[in-house]
Amino acid sequence: MKVTVLGSGSAYGCPMVFNSWRNADPSDERNRRSRPSVCLEVAGKTLIIDVGPDFREQINRNRITNIDAVLLTHPHYDHISSLPELIRASALLGHNIPIFANAETMADLRVSYAFMFRVDEGAILSWHEIPDIGEFAAAGVKLRTFQVPHHHWHCSAFRCGDFAYLTDWEGISPQGLQSLQGVKTLLVECNNGLYPEHNGHSDLEAVKRLAAQITPQRVVLTHLSARVDYAETAAHLPPGFELAYDGLVLDI
């Protein structure tokens, strides 16, 4: 399996609007982050997790030439705002792009993107509801999912074989911990880095506590806000931990 971190940033990217870098050193290119998105290439299929506002540039920059399925974690704009791009993508590819989301997310999409449930521009998007916890298949690829709390929402986490992706979380259930047992590579949101804040997101200490309970071989921190400077944070990481950056490729 090949996993590409298309976007390693948080909702506002880095730099933020007005070229604001906050704690991040602008001279370090690893601090230049687009909004969160991940590409999984497995068993000959290409799956995309989340399509934020930078999605078109991410796809082009990483020379991705096909999409077999899209998985959505939750309906915040930094994870769904490029959904309309999939209409043109489907037409260009000449095949259906199935979109998978939990019931809560799907209900929101039917309001915020109602027109997409009616559109047909030469190819078709299809919509598939996934369980809150359990197994499902996307483009023939078997995945496991569970939910984590994030603000007033529930965010879907995904596991595919020895790899798991967990974003926008502020806690985890016993069922979630059970779903992550035995995972070898964990790509996980660490929005606040070294600076904990009650904002619906995690920080380094929270990730360390999680890792201690599931003991993955490799922990990669992503969804990093502008408060996270790459070099400063890297100096505080325990063995087996690393920071993601845009374009990082993980071979699982």
The whole model's pTM is what? 0.96
Nearest to 164 by CA among 194, 187, 190, 130: 187
pLDDT at 121 over 80: no
**CB burial readout 98-118, b (16+ within 10 A) else e:** bbbbbebbbebbeeeeeebee
Q: What is the mean pLDDT of residues 84-92?
A: 95
Which sequence spans correspond to the domains of the chain? 2-251
- Predicted confidence (pLDDT) at residue 122 exceeds the cutoff of 70: no
Q: Which amino acid is at 213?
A: Q
Statement: residue 118 has pLDDT above 90: no
Mean pLDDT of 153-168: 96
Q: Above 90 in pLDDT, residue 198?
A: no
Q: Which two tokens stand for residue 230?
A: 């790459």
CATH code, 2-251: 3.60.15.10
HSE on the CB side for 188, CA within 13 Å?
31
Share the mean pLDDT of the chain.
96
pLDDT at 95 over 80: yes
Q: Which of 3-17, 22-36, 120-134, 219-233 has the lowest mean pLDDT?
A: 120-134
**Residue 186: CB partners within 8 Å, gap ≥ 6?**
163, 164, 166, 180, 211, 214, 216, 218, 219, 220
CA distance 55 to 34: 9
Distance CA 197, CA 136 (A): 34
Give the pLDDT score at 106. Answer: 97
Residue 56 half-sphere exposure toward CB, CA atoms < 13 A: 10
Q: What is the pLDDT of residues 2-47, one digit of tens each?
A: 999 999 999 999 999 999 999 999 999 999 999 999 999 999 999 9
